[in-house]
Amino acid sequence: MLASGFHNARFVCIYDNQTHDTEWCSINEISEKFGNLTLGLKKRGIYTVISPRMPLMALGLFIESGLKVFRSGSKNIEDNILLLNNNQLRPYEVYDAMGLSSCAGGSCSSCSTCD
């Protein structure tokens, strides 16, 4: 079952599209700080993320770091992997993430990124 969004997931399922193996690990195994998460993902060879929700700031950071972000098409992980392999997942767009944050580029107190 998927977390409500990548930004508040405690564990991730890593799928190797060459061997078709899956591995579960905690976010802390990838990076101890959320700000370093993109670097940790890339060090592990992960360049694609599937998530049902992605706050605007996180999406911008992932895209800027060269990660592809897709909006999940199912609450089932195996279904999402199949959809990704069949090119049936929609890339996460900025307008998708805009509704998740009340941030208008102002103070941090209005940001819902860390819900």
Of the candidates 77, 85, 75, 80, the one whose C-alpha atom is nearest the C-alpha of residue 23 is: 77
Of the candidates 67, 53, 66, 38, the one whose C-alpha atom is nearest the C-alpha of residue 97 is: 53
Exposed e or buried b per residue across 36-72, where buried means at least 16 C-beta atoms within 10 angstroms of its C-beta: ebbebbeeeebeebbbbbbbbbbbebbbeeebebbbb
Tell me, what amino acid is at 11? F
SS3 15: strand
pLDDT tens digits for 55-82?
Answer: 888 888 889 999 999 999 998 999 999 9
SS3 22: strand
Q: Which domains does the chain have, with CATH numbers?
A: 6-98 (3.30.420.130)
Confidence at residue 38, expressed as pLDDT on a 0 to 100 scale: 86
Confidence at residue 59, expressed as pLDDT on a 0 to 100 scale: 87
- Of 87 and 102, the structure prediction assigns the larger pLDDT to 87
Lowest mean pLDDT among 29-38, 68-77, 94-103: 94-103
